[in-house]
Structure 1
Amino acid sequence: MSRRPSAHAKGFSLIEVLIVVAIIGIIASMLIPNMLDAMQKAKQKRTMADMRIVGGAMFSWLTDQVGAAAAGLSSTSNIDLGDYGGLKTADALSTILIPTYLQDIPLKDGWKSRYEYYLNTANPRAIHVMAIRSTGRDGAAETDDYTVTGFEPTDYDRDVVWADGFMVRWPESRN
């Protein structure tokens, strides 16, 4: 014996379903931009942490090479990466720093672009000895000549640069 559906069957009307879908859409439109920004901030923070770790290892190498007196000699307002000797690959750097100073050298920053490492092994007593650059989200270097200053933290395309123990270009809140 089959039952016939009654005219008063319970369920949601089309209007109720559309209202719920509209509310979910509004909530999603408010949350997605914040989530995307949080992901970019995490990539930026990971990149800066990597740079500090590798920079610390480079600094330890420098101290072992020429003594603590040479460490941190340069604190100028402009940095030209051309003054830091040739660009080193992570493989070339690993022969110098692994295993004494680091377990491994990060190849790519938070945006999956290769780090640029500079280490003047030929003249560790020079004023400009070591630098690391991340080209940011866009993967393109802005310049090789940087003024020491921060930039707006939400400008993820900006280069992040560490040199001779100091951040040269970094995200900085300006409240």
Structure 2
Amino acid sequence: MNEEQPKIESSAFGGYKRPGIVTLLSIIEFFVAAVWIIISIALIIGMVHSQYNNFMYMAIVAIALGIINFFCGYGLWNLKSYGRTIMLVFSFIGLLGFPFGTIISILLLIYFYKPGIKIIFSQRDPATLTADEIRQVTDLQSSNPLIIGTMVVILMSFAIPIIGIIAAIAIPNFLNARDRARQIRTRMEIQNIAAAVESYKNDHNAYPETLPVQQLQSLLVPKYIDKIYVQDAWKNDFRYIAWKENPESVGPDNYIIASAGKDGVWEENDMKEYTEKVTCSFRNDIVLKNNVLIQQPQGPQMEADPAVQCD
């Protein structure tokens, strides 16, 4: 009695049925591509708000990797030869990731160099296959669920730490960029208020008296400025004081507008005590006196004690 010939399974759209492991790998590639794109978006946002050019280069690399991972996943999903080629390249590079990357890459190389995998990705006409080649293909198409599950565990145990490392780098950069953007916006709002105060002086020969910023707003808007914000970008109230030094002045001839920075804690109880200072912490106050920023951030900023001296 002749042994029954194994039958090659085909997909609903024709062609070879995709092996379970290939399906799994394609999904992982799509997932990794999505992670890279999300990271690139965060880096682009950081670049726009912080004006750090190094974010741009990092974003370009992340986008490129995301595109490559996407095409790898797409190629694997549709059994395109370039999908297997990209996967082989990734596997060869992964050999450098000793020990886990090396082990996983070796397993992937063994799998993707199997004769049956070569046949599936070559899209050869099943009618031209020999009995041995048919058996090689059908063995792959009937992958043991236990093997697939093991592959999931191995690959995710490798992928999750890598994603964690990437996130550990990208997220702090993103948060730093967000605070940098708030710092820049706060400084601009202080300068906008100062411009309106200067216009007020041109009409009244004196600056407005010391007032809560909410009352100062009603004094300046809309005649001297269309709109001012009473809070900085961290939702802390601005502070405005004015005083008279020249006895001959008709009213206040000095003023200060300030933000307490990210932490909302004022560095000086008496605002007249502020002196010229360059800051490097998001928690430092931002201070403008008589239309000149006397305490302002310069260079890279960090989450540090406001008392720390900048280099």
Identify whether the pair has TM-score above 0.5, normalized to the shorter chain.
yes
**SS at the partner of 1:48?**
helix
Cα drift, residue 157 of structure 1: 1.0
Q: Greater CA radius of gyration, 1 or 2? A: 2
Q: 1:118 to 1:30 in 2, by over 3 A?
A: same
Tell me the equivalent position of 1:168.
294
Structure 1 residue 55: Cα displacement: 0.5
TM-score by length of 1: 0.75
Give 1 or 2: higher helix fraction: 2
Deviations 1:97-121 (A, max 9, x none): 1111112221110111000122459
For residue 239 of structure 2, what is the aligned residue in structure 1?
116
Query: Of 141, 159, 166, which residue of structure 1 is paired with 2:285?
Result: 159
Aligned residues: 151
Residue type of the partner of 1:118?
A: I
Q: In structure 1, what is the equivalent of residue 263 of structure 2?
A: 138
Please give the TM-score of this superposition, normalised by the length of structure 2. Answer: 0.44
Quote the sequence identity (%).
28
Mapped pair 1:29 → 2:29: no
Counterpart among 95, 104, 109 of residue 227 in structure 2:
104
| Deviation per residue, 1:118-137 (Å, 9 max, x gap) | 2459x655442x22110011
Partner of 1:42: 181
Matched position secondary structure for 2:228: coil
Mapped partners of 1:35, 1:148: distance in 2: 30
Name segments (4+ residues, structure 1) moved above 6 Å.
Answer: none
Instruction: Note the aligned Cα RMSD (angstroms).
Output: 2.7
Give the 3 Å change call, closer, same or farther, for CA 90–98 of structure 1 in structure 2. Answer: same
**CA spacing shift, 1:35–1:44, aligned 2, 3 Å:** same
CA distance in 1, matches of 2:263, 2:250: 32
> Whose relative contact order is higher, 1 or 2, with alpha carbons under 8 Å and at least 6 apart?
1
Q: Does 1:53 align with 2:192?
A: yes
Gapped regions of structure 1 (runs ≥ 5): 72-83
* Aligned 8 A contact 1:62 1:124 in 2: no
Q: Secondary structure at the match of 2:296?
A: strand
1:149 alignment partner, one of 272, 277, 292: 277
Task: Encode CA deviations 1:64-117: one digit per residue, 9 max, x unaligned.
Answer: 222xxx89xxxxxxxxxxxx963x123321232111111222111011100012
